[in-house]
Amino acid sequence: MSVLRAAAALLVAAAAALALYFFCVLPYRCNVVKKARLGSTNFALENSATAAGRVAARRNLEAFAPCLNELCRDVSVDMLAAANYRIVNRPDEAMRLYLDALQRDTRPEIYLNLAAAELMLGDRRAARDHALRATLFNTGMIANIDDGLLRAETARELIRLHPEKADLIRYFQNFGATQ
């Protein structure tokens, strides 16, 4: 009977250690990676047209890989990884991560980044829909739409839906055009 108890205690200890790893250690490590790679992702975004920017993005993706499993998902890590996928010209992977992130959190910046990835894939209609959704959450997001035509289309549709906000919408539309 004592052998059975010892085996059960060992099994409970192993399960507790495994749970501690997956629910405490791994999320902590991913938080550290996220904080460490934020600056590198910003560098990669600012230098996305250069080889140095693309190399930084690939290194970031390697660092994020352990954090993109089902047990340790963080919307922030998904968004950082997706931004890096866009830099290395993998908008399909970026879209997948943005869509996964939207399952857990509906932030306007996720919709806006999803629209940018859809533009890279040539799906203008879907990009327009997601850009509109982002700006319905937060009108100021219009200024963050890089594609001028998409910004104008989104502003036009937003004014149609909310004519009372036309001046504010035009302000943000023009603010984005001057950046």
Q: Are 9 and 72 found together in one domain?
A: yes
Q: Are 66 and 127 found together in one domain?
A: no
Q: Are 111 and 66 found together in one domain?
A: no
99 inside domain: no
pLDDT of 45 reads 93
pLDDT of 48 reads 92
Domain count, the chain: 2
- List the domain range (segments joined by +) for residue 130: 106-179
What confidence tens digit (pLDDT) does each residue in 19-66 have?
Answer: 777 776 777 888 899 999 999 999 999 999 999 999 999 999 999 998
122 inside domain: yes
CA dihedral 32, 36, 38, 44 (to 10 degrees): -140
Per DSSP, helices labelled H in the chain are 2-20, 26-46, 51-64, 75-87, 91-104, 108-120, 124-137, 148-161, 166-178
95 inside domain: no
138 inside domain: yes
The candidate with the shortest Cα–Cα distance to 110, out of 123, 91, 95, is 95
90 inside domain: no
Question: Which stretches of the chain score pLDDT less than 70?
Answer: 1, 24, 71-72, 176-179
Q: Are 73 and 112 found together in one domain?
A: no
100 inside domain: no
Q: Are 79 and 17 found together in one domain?
A: yes
97 inside domain: no
91 inside domain: no
Q: Are 9 and 75 found together in one domain?
A: yes
Q: Which residue has the tokens 């047990």?
A: 71
pLDDT of 13 reads 80
Q: What region, left, alpha or beta, does residue 69 occupy, with left being phi > 0 and alpha being psi -120 to 50 degrees?
A: beta
